[in-house]
Structures are given as structure tokens and as C-alpha cells.
């Protein structure tokens, strides 16, 4: 008995348009190749994210408390911030649900979109990036790539991570009468702290 | 499933009776179209991107078996279980079996048009599985027991008051809420415990990368990421046409998708799944459900390039003024009208007529599908297959005869002019004249073009022609 797989592939082979008429175009790199921090920040703000700028003499922990004064549980996965909950306590995906602010480091950002990348390499557990109420993302200004073309061509993470998410601002919806609401089901705010 | 042709015109009639809904729907979708235009104007390379996207998709479709096999091999290497489903029933059975093997009773899922195609929710309900949609718009539609009316914004035909009424019933919120923020918050609060206690999560897939065995999911709410990362079992349902060859190709498509859909540069979340998370299990179900047959349709195979952005719906004057539900199908709007007949030619035989053939859909399509030409070609196919309503068929038949005989045609035009100016309305506007149902017949003219031509040009032209006739 032939399997579904065989039958589908066989039907596709029988029905395929002539491959010679449809050659694969070379990889495209189009558009603005500006990878500046300024471009990244402008894009980030369009998507509803923001930059957390340190005040003079302020530590990252202090800046987080200033930005999120009501936060009770702050959980950091980076050495630059201490937080209030040791990250070792987050063991199951559900454990991340009690967190008010999560702190992580992104290996790179994309200037065109204001996107930051996170994968299992930056997260104690994948839900860490989504179940907390707010997220603070550390990003080195020299780890910006210009646009989506350069990102996919240059960053090895797209080919190595099992879970890789580009977050471009916080979660959002416009499903009720077209009103844009920032903070839908995932994080309510996303702040970038440049290092 | 009933084969009775969808009465799109009647459903649309019902939709336009309510002015506030109609007006909002029309304006909201046009606003999305204008935001898309604004994004297009920012990028000088826009047309080049469309051309690239179209060529990559056409290439991939011409070698689909190879790329599917490449994807499967890479995905398996990364620990993903890959399943193949010929149709909706097979897909549902596979998903049901995976859930049963894990004793999973609570499934959370993000939006997937393929699962709508397969009519999966009722099937799983019968197996004792509670399915909860986590996308806000899709959840609203689930609670209201309606199909999504738009592939990107499923509840776009509803106003805040409608949502408040639905949520009041199921979430026990105040039915008089008129602030969408409060309703979105109610959804967040209601969804969280369901997400935390779910046994399994389900997503669709916007793109599949053969080179790496990755599938890519694009959302704004973050609900797909929650559905995929909180439970340890992740099932993804994906149509077999969603492939691209290389990871580098994703640059082209991500730059086009959300700009075309909502006019935002990118979706808030663009997630790449290449393997299960630590301690988790991942399944991909590749669904054919008519796609392999469509690939063999010379005039229609390029509809498989579609990346489901909804731009053709937002721009379509008929869609904007008739609402997605009036199409009576999983896929509505111009793209629905060209793919629905491949699922059921008789049932969806009316949909290719839900168009003015203005070509706007084709102009905005990010992968350059010739949608309006396919709409026209479908009409020809349907006529050849006799899938045409009686009155329309008879009128076309008579018109064809009339136009083939100039003398009779001129006489008929004159008679029409006389009747338009003399006959009572009930004779002119009735079921034999569907065109006049929502439109006024043309104003009668005192002189037809033919009369005018005979009087002004024919006589004037004669002296010049005279030397010729002398020869």
C-alpha cells in the first residue's frame, strides 16, 4: 500500500511546471544597508519598543526599577543585572509566569526593523521571553546588522538555533475594531539597553 | 458538505444592510491598504522584492518534491517528527493520534488557515480534546462559532460592541465595555491559565526552509510563541506549498509579508523553529488537501505562490463591501475566489463573479499572482463546466446572439431607450434584471451613438470617399 508521502510526492511530480522555465534567482541583497544604532532606534520605536537610557551613574538594576517601579519579581539571565529572583529558580516553562521583568541579552539586532534575536542560547527556558510581563534586552551596538537580507545571510544563529525568535517591539494586536494595543498576549513592553 | 452554490450576492446584501458595520469594515481595510502603500513608497526596491519573491516561489513550486524531501531529511535530523496528510481527514486523524499518545486533552493553538481548511476543531472536540484559539481575533470567531472573515484579521467585520457581547457571555465581562483595551486585557487574563495548563500547543507555519529544516511563524500577539514554548508538545500544521529553498530567501519574504498585510514593517514576532525545545517533542504535519492537483492546473497553479498576507482582500472593493463571511468559504476575497473553486467547483462557482476585475488585487500582490486574470479564467472554466446561474447564463446567451447581428442590436438599443423612458419601474426592475437590483439603469438618451454617427460623420465622410468610388 502506498503511503500518503509517496502519493503526494508522486502527484506533485506528475503535475510540476517545467523546472527549466523557473531557475532559482541568486540570493538578493536589496535596499538600505545602514546598520547604525540611530536607524535601529527609529525602527524599534515604530514597532512600539523603546531604549532604556541610563541616567548618570545609574546601574542597570536601578534603571530597571526606574522603568518598572511596580515590578516585584525581576529575573535576570545576564551578569550585568542581579534582579530579585535567581534565574536557577526558573526550571519549567510555567515557572516564568510569575516574573514581572525578565532581563536577557540578544546576540544581535536588525537596524531595518528594530528587531532583536533570542534563542535557547540566551534563555534559561524558551517561555522566559514570553511569559514575563515586561522584557529588558541588552544589546551591543556593534552587533547590529543592516536589514533582513544581511541578517539572514550573515548571522549563523538562523541555521543553528532550534528556537530563534525575532522580537520587534512588544506583543501587539489590532483585532478589535482596528485599535492598536501594545501588550497583547506576550510581553507588554520591550526595552533595549545598549552595552 | 452541501454542494449548493454559495449565494454571495444575497449574503453581501445582508452585510450591507447594517451601515455602521459596513462603513467601519470598508474604512478599516482601506486604511490597511493605505498603510501598505506608505511602506511601499519608503522602499525604492519594492518592485524588485516582489519580482524576487515571485521567482523564488515559482522556482520552488517547479521542484516541490525535491525541496519537500530536503526539508523532511533536515527536520528529521533535528529531531522533528514529519507526517504527511493527503486531505483534511487524514490530517485530523494524525493530530488526534499524536494527542492521544500523549494523553493530551487541552490543546492551545495559534491561527492556522490549514486547520480551518481541515475543519479540525469539531473533529478534536469529538475526541474529547478542548481546543482553545489563542489569537484574539480567532478566539472571538471561535466563541462566536464563525469562520474567520479575513485571513489576517479574522474578526475585522465586528465592532467593539459585538466583541463585548461575546466576551460577556464567555468571560463574564461587562457587556457594555466600549474600550478595546479592556477587552484585549480580558482575553489576556482568560488565556493565561489555559496556556499554563495546556497539554499541547499547535501553530501553523508561514514559511518552510528546505535548506535547514526550519519552519517560520509570524504573529503579532506572541500567542504562537506561547503556544509553542509553554507546553512540551508542539504540533505544526503546514501546507506543502509553503517552502522556500534557502534561509537567505527569508529576507525577501519577511520584508514583504507584514508590509503587504497590515502596513507594519514586520510582525512583532518572527519565529524560527528548527527542532524541539529541551525536554519537548515537535511534530510537523505537511498537508496536501488539493494542492498537488492545483499544481497541475495550467492557468491556476501560480495561486500556490500565495503567502496569505490578505493585501488583495484589503484592496478589493467587492470584499470591503460584502465582508469575508459572505463568501461562505475558509478563504474569502480575491485569493479565496480563485482557490476555493479548486476545493469544490460547484459550491464556490459564484465566487469568481464577486469581482469587478479592476486588477487592484494583482497590483498589490507581493508575490505577483495574476489574481484578476485567474478570476476571469475561472469564469470561462465554470461556463464550460455549466456552473453558471440560470438567469446569468440566459442573459449572456441572448446578449451573444444580439451582438452578433448589428441590425437586430441597433433595433434592440432603440427599443431599450424607449422602454427605459416610458416603462414603469416594476417592469424594468425585477428578477430578470439582476443588474438593476442595487443600481439604477442607465439614463435613456435622446440619440444613440449610431444615430449621431450617421448624422454627423457618415455624411461628412462621403465627399472624401467619393473619388475612390469613381474609379
C-alpha distances (whole Å) from B332 to each of B216, B259, B338, B355 are: 24, 20, 9, 12
Is the predicted pLDDT of residue A82 greater than 80, yes or no?
Answer: yes
- pTM score, two decimals? 0.91
Final residue in a domain of this structure, among B346, B367, B388:
B388
B60 and B204 assigned to the same domain:
yes
Helices (H), A47-154: 60-67, 128-131, 148-154
Query: Rounded to an integer, what distance in angstroms lies between the CA atom of residue B102 and that of residue B98?
Result: 7
ipTM, 2 dp:
0.98
B137 and B178 assigned to the same domain:
yes
Q: What is the pLDDT of residue B288?
A: 98
Pick out chain B residues at pLDDT < 50.
Answer: 465-471
B225 and B174 assigned to the same domain:
yes
Q: What is the pLDDT of residue B392?
A: 72
B441 interfaces chain A, CB cutoff of 8 Å: no
B262 and B174 assigned to the same domain:
yes
Q: How far is B268 from chain A (nearest CA, A)?
A: 5
Contacts of B110 in chain A (CB under 8 A): none
Range of the structural domain that residue B377 is part of: 1-42+302-388
Q: What is the pLDDT of residue B459?
A: 66
Instruction: List the domain boundaries for chain A.
Output: 31-194
Contacts of B295 in chain A (CB under 8 A): 11-12, 15-17
Q: Which residues contact B422 (CB under 8 A, 6 or more apart)?
A: none
Mutation target among B157, B184, B261, B324 for the A interface, most CBs of A within 10 A:
B184
B402 and B318 assigned to the same domain:
no
B97 interfaces chain A, CB cutoff of 8 Å: no
Q: Do B212 and A152 touch (CB under 8 A)?
A: no
B257 and B347 assigned to the same domain:
no
B374 and B326 assigned to the same domain:
yes
Q: Which residue among B24, B180, B286 sits closest to A181, beta carbon to beta carbon? A: B180
Query: Per-residue pLDDT tens for B155-181?
Result: 999 999 999 999 999 999 999 999 999
Q: What is the pLDDT of residue B444?
A: 76
B224 and B356 assigned to the same domain:
no
CATH number at residue B196: 3.40.50.10420
B341 and B454 assigned to the same domain:
no
Query: Per-residue pLDDT tens for B7-41?
Result: 999 999 999 999 999 999 999 999 999 999 999 99
Closest residue, chain A, to B299 (C-alpha): A17
B96 and B2 assigned to the same domain:
no
Contacts of A115 in chain B (CB under 8 A): 266, 270
Contacts of A14 in chain B (CB under 8 A): 296
B100 and B32 assigned to the same domain:
no
Q: Do B274 and A164 touch (CB under 8 A)?
A: yes
DSSP-derived secondary structure letter, A85: B
Which tops the pLDDT comparison, B463 or A28?
Answer: A28
Query: Rounded to an integer, what distance in angstroms lies between the CA atom of residue A19 and that of residue B373?
Result: 23
Among residues B262, B182, B277, which one has the least CA distance to residue B230? B277
B188 and B307 assigned to the same domain:
no
Q: Which residue among B230, B247, B301 sits closest to A127, beta carbon to beta carbon? A: B230
Look at residue B294 and tell me if it is in a domain.
no
Look at residue B296 and tell me if it is in a domain.
no
- Structural domains of chain B, count: 3
Contacts of A176 in chain B (CB under 8 A): 136, 140, 155, 158, 160, 163, 180, 183-184
The arithmetic mean of pLDDT across residues A164-173, rounded, is 98
Domain A31-194, CATH homologous superfamily name and number: NagB/RpiA/CoA transferase-like (3.40.50.10420)
Q: What is the pLDDT of residue B352?
A: 96
Q: Which residues contact A138 (CB under 8 A, 6 or more apart)?
A: A60, A78, A80, A103, A104, A105, A106, A192, A193, A194, A195
Contacts of A23 in chain B (CB under 8 A): 59
Amino acid at each position: 500500500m502506498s503511503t500518503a508521502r509517496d502519493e503526494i510526492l508522486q502527484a506533485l511530480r506528475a503535475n510540476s511546471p517545467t523546472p527549466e522555465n523557473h531557475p532559482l534567482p541568486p540570493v538578493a541583497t536589496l535596499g538600505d544597508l545602514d546598520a547604525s544604532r540611530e536607524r535601529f532606534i527609529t525602527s524599534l520605536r515604530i514597532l512600539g519598543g523603546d531604549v532604556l537610557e541610563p541616567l548618570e551613574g545609574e546601574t542597570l538594576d536601578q534603571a530597571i526599577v526606574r522603568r518598572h517601579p511596580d515590578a516585584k519579581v525581576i529575573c535576570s539571565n545576564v551578569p550585568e543585572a542581579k534582579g530579585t529572583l535567581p534565574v536557577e529558580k526558573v526550571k519549567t516553562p510555567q515557572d516564568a509566569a510569575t516574573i514581572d521583568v525578565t532581563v536577557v541579552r540578544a546576540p544581535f539586532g536588525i537596524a531595518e526593523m528594530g528587531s532583536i534575536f533570542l534563542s535557547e542560547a540566551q534563555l534559561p527556558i524558551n517561555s522566559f521571553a514570553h511569559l514575563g510581563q515586561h522584557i529588558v534586552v541588552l544589546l551591543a551596538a556593534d552587533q547590529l546588522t543592516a536589514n533582513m537580507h544581511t541578517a539572514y545571510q550573515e548571522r549563523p544563529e538562523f541555521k543553528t538555533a532550534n528556537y530563534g525568535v525575532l522580537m520587534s517591539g512588544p506583543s501587539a494586536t489590532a483585532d478589535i475594531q482596528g485599535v492598536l494595543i501594545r501588550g497583547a498576549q506576550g510581553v507588554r513592553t520591550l526595552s533595549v539597553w545598549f552595552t | 458538505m452541501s454542494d449548493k452554490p454559495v449565494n454571495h450576492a444575497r449574503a453581501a446584501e445582508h452585510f450591507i444592510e447594517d451601515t455602521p458595520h459596513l462603513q467601519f469594515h470598508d474604512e478599516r481595510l482601506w486604511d490597511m491598504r493605505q498603510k501598505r502603500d506608505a511602506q511601499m513608497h519608503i522602499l525604492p526596491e519594492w518592485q524588485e522584492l516582489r519580482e524576487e519573491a515571485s521567482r523564488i516561489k515559482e522556482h520552488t513550486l517547479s521542484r516541490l518534491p525535491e525541496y519537500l524531501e530536503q526539508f523532511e531529511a533536515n527536520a528529521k535530523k533535528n529531531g522533528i517528527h514529519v507526517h504527511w496528510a493527503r486531505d483534511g481527514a487524514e490530517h485530523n486523524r494524525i493530530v488526534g493520534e499524536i494527542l492521544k499518545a500523549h494523553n493530551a486533552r487541552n490543546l492551545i493553538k495559534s491561527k492556522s488557515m490549514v486547520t480551518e481548511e481541515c475543519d479540525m476543531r469539531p473533529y478534536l472536540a469529538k475526541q474529547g480534546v478542548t481546543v482553545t484559539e489563542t489569537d484574539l481575533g480567532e478566539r472571538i470567531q471561535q466563541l462566536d462559532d464563525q469562520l474567520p472573515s479575513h485571513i489576517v484579521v479574522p474578526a475585522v467585520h465586528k465592532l467593539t460592541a459585538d466583541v463585548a457581547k461575546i466576551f460577556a457571555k464567555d468571560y463574564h465581562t461587562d457587556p457594555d465595555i466600549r474600550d478595546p483595551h479592556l477587552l484585549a486585557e480580558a482575553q489576556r487574563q482568560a488565556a493565561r491559565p489555559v496556556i499554563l495548563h495546556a497539554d499541547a500547543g499547535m501553530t501553523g507555519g508561514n514559511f518552510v526552509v528546505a535548506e535547514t529544516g526550519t519552519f517560520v511563524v509570524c504573529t503579532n500577539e506572541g500567542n504562537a510563541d506561547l503556544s509553542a514554548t509553554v507546553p512540551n508538545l508542539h504540533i505544526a500544521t503546514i501546507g506543502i506549498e509553503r517552502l522556500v529553498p534557502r534561509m537567505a530567501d527569508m529576507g525577501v519574504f519577511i520584508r514583504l509579508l507584514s508590509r503587504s498585510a497590515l502596513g507594519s514593517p514586520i510582525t512583532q514576532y518572527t519565529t524560527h523553529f528548527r527542532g524541539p525545545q529541551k525536554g519537548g517533542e515537535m511534530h510537523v504535519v505537511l498537508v496536501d488537501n488539493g494542492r498537488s492537483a492545483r499544481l497541475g492546473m495550467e492557468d491556476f497553479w501560480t495561486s500556490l505562490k500565495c503567502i496569505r498576507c490578505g493585501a488583495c482582500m484589503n484592496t478589493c472593493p467587492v470584499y470591503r463591501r460584502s465582508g469575508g463571511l459572505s463568501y461562505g468559504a475558509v478563504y474569502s476575497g480575491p485569493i479565496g475566489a480563485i482557490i476555493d473553486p479548486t476545493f469544490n467547483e460547484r459550491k464556490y462557482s459564484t465566487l469568481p463573479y464577486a469581482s469587478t476585475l479592476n486588477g487592484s488585487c494583482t497590483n498589490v500582490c507581493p508575490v505577483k499572482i495574476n489574481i484578476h486574470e485567474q478570476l476571469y479564467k475561472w469564469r470561462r472554466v465554470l461556463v464550460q463546466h455549466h456552473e453558471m446561474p440560470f438567469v446569468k447564463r440566459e442573459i449572456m446567451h441572448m446578449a451573444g446572439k444580439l451582438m452578433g447581428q448589428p441590425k437586430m442590436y441597433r433595433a434592440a438599443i432603440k427599443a431599450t431607450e424607449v422602454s427605459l423612458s416610458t416603462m414603469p419601474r416594476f417592469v424594468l426592475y425585477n428578477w430578470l434584471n439582476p443588474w438593476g437590483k442595487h443600481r439604477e439603469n442607465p439614463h435613456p438618451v435622446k440619440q444613440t451613438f449610431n444615430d449621431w454617427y450617421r448624422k454627423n460623420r457618415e455624411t461628412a465622410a462621403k465627399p472624401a470617399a467619393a473619388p475612390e468610388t469613381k474609379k
